[in-house]
Chain A
């Protein structure tokens, strides 16, 4: 089991050099049936990551570049009147895929953003009174540029909550950078790469993850963490029950990828900063808390014996 994941990680690693931890987290997020928000500068490899994930899983891939003049129909699809048949004909939008890369999601207007986010939550879209189920698995990788503020519509907290995890890719380190620079280019590798698994395997893995056990002690620890965010003076507000469920689900996926069918506190600790980072605000300035500070703060919560 571990082997299978390791091989995926390795394979992705050939394209996305030096980003193994992020790849693991992205896989965790995918297997946990969550959506991923990548916050980083352009050119870091967000798109490559989305592509390689989709390809490796053998999933369909679509990319949407969000702009401020975008309408919900541009994502969901529109019905166009067919004059020959004298009927409306539905042209599905890019959302009818399995891996959707929503690039620079904060550039779109809230109306468009919420159209996407609704689809993310419901796994279905309703267009002109007709409900259409999305392809399964459905996985959104959204990106946003944290430094650009002009002409953007930042996602409100309630919508940030829809993303299971938020990660940053960061610059590659020197060795990885060298590899990138010497290499033949990601696109060529990507094209040459075959799928590592059938897309039915994804369902299997997702089903197995839902069977990962949460013991009493683990739930105690999880609750301690949740309670801590609600009572600690460092946070502006605590974790919602949905955030708690998300944390548990992410831990499950992580544990599964470690080859376990039960969770240990380490699983939770591993995914914790990425799951709660975009859900919590500092009390003092109302801003998000950096990852390393988060890890430090959460180290105050003891693991139950």
Chain B
């Protein structure tokens, strides 16, 4: 401990490097805790302050654990474990007197590095993890072999890492995968985002301000036009006078919708910690990992807490078929004495309409023609939000319109419900997939027509057709809202493109990394003749491993044990060429033959070559053995060898 810069400081550096990616994730008090502890350690060496003794360390440990319990009492997830690691890593440098303690701390740093897999930005994090492993290994080297420069440690560590890389790749492909994903356990985030199970004023706007990715979609064929990209997630069938709610118990397995031109696609859903999945309207088939509810939504048995990929087929033009009476009855229920003015208004507007479609048309026209405007900053609404909206503010966004529209349809006995999901998305030009962000969140209405089944009506189209045809971004830029990048003017498109490119790289990386599952591995192994569950196959697998390992070790041995080869210089190169020319003429040089012997041997048989060979040999000997070659000698030698032609008779 006399030389902390050699023992303690590198370990501290390794810990800092390991913790760094988690700064945004750890509770602020833990960051503060780490900074204080590490700062004190650094300064204590500088100014010879007393370091905490055993008892104080115990007290600090207990304080830290209580802090953790207080912070994470609700959920004991990976964040809690990470917090525990960070709290302990902050205290550990206080007891690094012995070599063993230092080694433990270095391994703690490795452990923290592994926790970076919790984070979702996989590509960047992977690169960072490689870097931190190199740093930590360099510290490990330094801990065991103090002295020398840290750069040398780093170089050795990087070398070790490079050598381990083939083994890592091999293990990645051949290490037995568990059915399901081992990594999946880690790829989850705790923060909920997206829709909740009720739609109350303001909810969607919060999403609009969030440009996080909700999910990504890659279509098998052509991408449908933007106005058809309604991503159905939740259906709100219950209205309580203020907001819309999801039906508590929804029957499952409805009749499958019919349609033409099925669109197949793969959705990669970001974790949102709810149970619904988003699919293109209308889903044409059930998904074996989720229940297919009567309202044509899919619901997983467990909240989606990690990225999820699923394949789906949908009809963008569809006929849903018959609906049971109970559901239809539920879809015209309205609470008593609520929003009564709108109730009356609806009846007035649709007085001369007979069918559901006609009624919907009338109400749609009402919204279009009566000065309703689309805004993301609507005023607050009172106890009767629909009345307030229609008679007072007349300003709102999709949620207000969908809510009011569905209310009015129900008021005139047309079964209607609000559908929540996303509309549109952005094609990533670099990898041809669609990115749907939280800001694409949308709500629309579905009405029941006995002839056509459930029909989608999007009342927002009446006031803001751009929102439907061009997506949310058109609305955002027109309103002057939007993030920092949008405000940069000319630069914004550059940043936007860069972001799309980065997203493409990240998604591709992740698809490769996560996509390599048990099934893929089994397919790969079967391709090379290894079938799971067969004893012979295990032997084959073992043989393959041994062979591959042997090849790798052999390759290394060859690489490191081969005699060091010097780069051929010009003299060597051209003398070899000269020998080659002579060899073709029938006078191969024996390896132990010196230049003069060689010349004499050749001249004995071909005295006519004297004029060509003698100067070449002379120059070669001068360049190689006299150590006093003149300036032009090399050029002359090269020139003469180039022109040398044993067939030439002079």
Contact = CB atoms under 8 A, between A and B. Distances in A.
Contacts of B595: 264-265
A64 interface: no
Contact of A269 (B568, B576, B592, B625): B592
Interface stretch (A12-20, A77-85, A210-218, A232-240): A210-218
B594 A265 contact: yes
A213 to B, nearest CB: 5
B220 interface: no
Chain A CB within 10 Å, residue with most, of B590, B621, B624, B628: B624
B621 A264 contact: yes
B627 interface: yes
Contact of A303 (B568, B592, B626, B627): B592
A264 B579 CA distance: 17
A213 B627 contact: yes
Interface string B391-417: 000000000000000000000000000
A300 B592 CA distance: 7
Interface residues of B, number: 20
A278 B597 CA distance: 26
Interface in B558-597: 568, 571-572, 575-576, 579, 590-597
Contact of B590 (A215, A266, A299): A299
A301 B594 CA distance: 11
Contacts of B597: 266, 269
A302 interface: yes
Interface string A244-269: 00000000000000000111111001
Nearest to A295: B592
B292 to A, nearest CB: 77
B592 A299 contact: yes
A203 interface: no
A216 B571 CA distance: 13
A90 interface: no
A302 B595 CA distance: 12
Interface string B533-567: 00000000000000000000000000000000000
A299 B592 CA distance: 5
Given A266-B597, A305-B572, A305-B576, A217 B592 contact: no
A298 B621 CA distance: 22
A302 B591 contact: yes
A261 B625 CA distance: 10
Contacts of A263: 625
B36 to A, nearest CB: 62
B562 to A, nearest CB: 15
A266 B596 CA distance: 7
A269 B624 contact: no
Contacts of A262: 621, 625-627
Nearest to A299: B592
Contact of A298 (B575, B592, B593): B592
Contacts of A299: 590-592
A264 B596 contact: yes
B37 to A, nearest CB: 58
Contacts of A303: 591-594
A74 to B, nearest CB: 46
Contacts of B627: 213, 215-216, 262
Chain B CB within 10 Å, residue with most, of A213, A298, A305: A305
A21 to B, nearest CB: 16
Contacts of B625: 213, 215, 217-218, 262-264
Contacts of A305: 568, 571-572, 575-576, 579
A213 B591 CA distance: 23
A264 B622 CA distance: 10
A266 B626 contact: no
Contacts of B621: 262, 264
Contacts of B579: 305
A265 B595 CA distance: 8
Contacts of A300: 591-592
A302 B575 CA distance: 14
Contacts of B590: 299
Contact of A264 (B568, B592, B594, B628): B594
Nearest to B620: A305
Contacts of A264: 594-596, 621, 625
B623 to A, nearest CB: 9
Nearest to B572: A305
A299 B590 CA distance: 9
Interface in B415-451: none
Nearest to B573: A305
Contacts of A265: 594-595
A218 to B, nearest CB: 6
B592 A213 contact: no
A235 B596 CA distance: 29
A294 to B, nearest CB: 13
A264 B594 CA distance: 7
Interface string A197-219: 00000000000000001011110
A262 B625 CA distance: 6
Chain A CB within 10 Å, residue with most, of B591, B624, B625: B625
Interface in A259-305: 261-266, 269, 298-303, 305
Nearest to A255: B625
A240 to B, nearest CB: 23
A217 B621 CA distance: 10
A247 to B, nearest CB: 15
Nearest to B568: A305
Contacts of B626: 213, 215, 261-262
A305 B624 CA distance: 8
Chain A CB within 10 Å, residue with most, of B575, B579, B594: B594
A152 B572 CA distance: 52
Contacts of B575: 305
Chain B CB within 10 Å, residue with most, of A217, A218, A269: A217
Contacts of A302: 591-592
Contacts of B593: 303
A302 B624 CA distance: 15
B596 A217 contact: no
A293 to B, nearest CB: 15
A206 B591 CA distance: 32
Contact of B624 (A217, A266, A298, A301): A217
Given A218-B625, A262-B626, A301 B596 contact: no
Interface string B597-628: 10000000000000000000000010011111
B354 to A, nearest CB: 102
8 contacts: A213-B625, A215-B625, A216-B627, A264-B594, A300-B592, A305-B571, A305-B572, A305-B576
Interface of A: 213, 215-218, 261-266, 269, 298-303, 305
Given A215-B625, A217-B624, A302-B592, 7 more contacts: A216-B627, A217-B625, A262-B626, A263-B625, A264-B596, A305-B571, A305-B572
Those 7 A-B pairs whose CB atoms lie nearest each other, nearest first: A302-B591, A265-B594, A266-B594, A299-B592, A305-B572, A215-B625, A262-B626
